[in-house]
Structure 1
Amino acid sequence: MARLMLAVERDTFVSDPYYGCRMCALLCHGLIQTGVAFRSFRFLSRKDKQNYFSDRGTISRAFVAENAFFVIVSIYASVQNTPCLAEWTKGTAVELAFVFFPYHAIRPFFPKTSFVQKRSSDQEIRNDTTMEKNARLMQTSAYVTKVAYILGKHMLGYFVNYVAFVRGLTSWHRWLSYAVMLGGGYNLTIGVFIHTLKFKKIISPLVAILLYIPPFVIWAVPGTLLVSELAVENRVLFTLSVIGMLANVRMSSGHQAVFQFAMLAVCRAIQTASDRH
């Protein structure tokens, strides 16, 4: 059923080489929006915690700046997903940076915030800007978002990028990726606006969460289809991506970089083997 629904616009997507440019334009708008928010909202907290999942107080400037990184990564994904744009980056340092080293070459230029606040004893604590009655809702929402980001980083990010780097994506897989970016683009471009409405008490914390969380579930459908189909065709890359995701928590930044260099070597080897056949 999901595949049938997604196929409704597929013919248009396949026949129009510039169709994906719409997503790129949307995300570029989101980047501009993030920049405006960072420069204009002087009242935002300057602490290093994101404070998004709270019902009192504002998000931090660090969180807004951090959002720009994810928008930039998504812009590259939309470029890669559009053949007429992907030609510009194919075989360049830009491609290598975004496919293998986005969290080493680009991420250090942006602040890093945490969804879950912890004490030195490593026990999770309730954010001091969250009322007791909403604490569980906010904490659950933070966990859902954290899981979505982890899966997005390693499966829809690294793994899909590896496959696109080695073999390229079929029109169907590019359409699934486009559908994923519709949901992800929503979260990245409207997240700050939703929090502003909540902060000004135009909407309640519950409504804000209901506006922010569902897209994660929506893009999970095409995302699952995309990853599962690519996994069948690219078992080695999928297995290594899963290993990278599981080991990511305990690996230092240096070890993660070494792992990505190893993945680059594996991808090159697969490319060479494919060319010989």
Structure 2
Amino acid sequence: MMEAGVIETSSGFAVDTIQRLGRFVKFLFHLFFQRKFIVHRLVGLSYLMQYALSFYWYFKNYETFKHSFVIWSLPLTGLVQSITAALTFTFLSRTKTDPGYYSDRGTLSYAFIVENSFFSGLLLFQWLYYSDFFYSYINNSIVIDNLIVFLPYILRQLWPKTHFRDSLNNSDKNKTAPNKNFYFIVTMVTKMFYVWAKHYIGYFLNYVRFFDRANPQQIEYIYLLLVFSAFATTISVFLHTLKFDSQPCDNMDRSMTIYEWYYTIPAVQWPKGCFYFAPFLYVVIQIQYFPSIINDVVYGEKIVLIRERPKYTIGTYQIVTNSIEIQKTRAEFSCQYRSLPMQIFSIELYSTYEGKSISLYRVRNREVQPIIKGNLQWPETFYQVTNPVDIIASDYLIGTCLYETMPSTYSPNALSEVICQINARFWTEHDDEIPMEICWNNHYSRILNRYLPVDEQIVPETHYLILIQHIQK
């Protein structure tokens, strides 16, 4: 009896172990080989494998490490990884000042993703600079040698910059109360380490190599420092980006407003069979009712939660501009769509400055299709598109925001501030990739000037008139 029990227990343990191993393998496969962000994931996987190999070689046989390919391939892959991240996560907020790295209730900002490529480039230079093979080539190139050794932060101005203080100032929003003190300490420790690393690793070690004052044993210890720096610069950020299983919300918080409408604003009808993918642990529903302005009319909400994958998926496509003409009366945007087909069914209009109107058109085969023309006095919410408009690759999207003459003191930040923005809600086939690109600024002015309708300067009716018409109907 006891022996049978032992055998049964051992068998059950073996089965459980196999199942756990199978789930782990499935998890790893999903983590690195799913279609979403596949290039970014594969480059990151390549970096992890090279990092493990370099770590092993360094402690096993330093001579093998010193003459191996990882001396150049590891930091180069790190730079490529940072570039793929910048090209992949373009949907991240470009106006968010908080880097979002040390928080448990937010995501990274796009500026933080982009600026990481600068530090990856500096790290690549240092790996090659301390290599006996590459040192002679770099030392003979006077421009590169002197520029990066003595003036690296002159080049730094070409990259966006985030600040630790913005993360601390935003603690009430990006950190939960139980973890606020922990993240405060971690942020301060990292800030002090960064100040030390900037001067010691970023400057001093380059000076030492420039004057050829490091002996072989010191170079060995410096490479150990560079190995750990590779983890901090690339792996930590890569692991942080792996949580992007889908496009997050516009404000880059870990919560999103799936749907909203304002008092007396007609509700948006979602296409049948379309659902919004919400990869969250909790779903909070808040509904507030007002007395109806029409007798015997009751407004309500219908919310359906499903576990099955729907046939169609809802997404949001951003059309943004931060450029404005010298006359300061209009902001223009134009771009060419390059992703898979989508159907736009509702639009949200946004402007940082009180203006007159906003318009959006599709150009295909030399024909112009209006999508929406809105009044910037309307409440900021989603509005139903009269007829859903399909967008396919190679289509052009053009439009304008019209303003009264702005005050002379108004000076937008050319690098970040959004002047005008359209959030287009669309549906697409579930098997298709959700478009991650952003229509940014006026890159196809020739198309815009040629096809923009002459009546685009006519301002639509105010929300009050639309409301009266809606009541009469």
Report the TM-score, using the length of structure 1 for normalisation.
0.61
**Structure 1 residue 63: Cα displacement:** 0.2
- Following superposition, the deviation at residue 12 of structure 1 comes to 4.1
Q: Matches of residues 105-120 of structure 1 in structure 2 within 5 Å?
A: 106-117=155-166
Would you say 1:93 and 2:138 are equivalent positions? Answer: no
Once the two structures are superposed, what CA deviation does each residue of 1:17-67 show, in whole Å capped at 9, x if it has no partner?
534x41431121111111111111233121232111111221011001110
Q: Secondary structure at the match of 2:171?
A: coil
The gaps in structure 1 that reach 5 residues or longer are 1-5, 201-277
CA RMSD of aligned residues (A): 2.6
Aligned counterpart for 1:165 among listed residues 190, 194, 210? 210
Query: Aligned with 2:174: secondary structure?
Result: coil
Secondary structure in structure 2 of the residue aligned to 1:52:
coil
Letter in 2 for 1:64: I
- Aligned equivalent of 1:52, options 85, 97, 101: 101
Question: In structure 2, what residue type is equivalent to 1:48?
Answer: T
What's the counterpart of residue 140 of structure 1? 185
CA shift in 2, pair 1:43/1:9, >3 Å: closer
* Residues 124-143 of structure 1: per-residue CA shift (max 9 Å, x gap): 55252211111111111111
* Cα pair 2:138 2:144 within 8 Å, conserved: yes
1:183 aligns with 2:228: yes
For 2:9, the equivalent position in structure 1 comes to none
Indicate how the Cα distance of structure 1 residues 103 and 194 shifts in structure 2: closer, same or farther if over 3 A, else same: same
Q: Distance in 2 between matches of 1:99 and 1:127?
A: 40
Asked whether the equivalents of residues 31 and 68 of structure 1 are also in contact (C-alpha less than 8 Å), the reply is yes
The C-alpha deviation readout for 1:57-107, integer Å capped at 9, x for no partner, is 210110011101101001110011101011111041111111110011x11
Structure 1 vs Structure 2: percent identity of aligned residues? 30
Instruction: Pick the aligned partner of 2:86 from 28, 38, 48.
Output: 38
Gapped runs of 5+ residues in structure 2? 1-54, 246-473
Question: Which residue does the alignment assign to 2:364?
Answer: none
Q: What aligned pairs does 1:236-247 form with structure 2 within 5 A after superposition?
A: none
Q: Quote the Cα distance in structure 1 between the aligned partners of 2:204 and 2:172.
A: 34
> Larger relative CO (CA 8 A, sep 6+): 1 or 2?
1
Decide which of 23, 27, 43 is 2:75's aligned counterpart: 27
- Over 3 Å counting, the alpha-carbon distance change for 1:17 and 1:128 in structure 2 is closer
Paired with 2:200 and 2:97, the residues of 1 have a C-alpha distance of 27
TM-score (norm 2): 0.37
Q: Judging changes above 3 Å, is the alpha-carbon distance between structure 1 residues 98 and 195 closer, same or farther for their aligned structure 2 residues?
A: same
Structure with bigger gyration radius: 2
More helix as a share of residues = 1
Aligned residue pair count: 189
- Amino acid aligned to 1:129: N
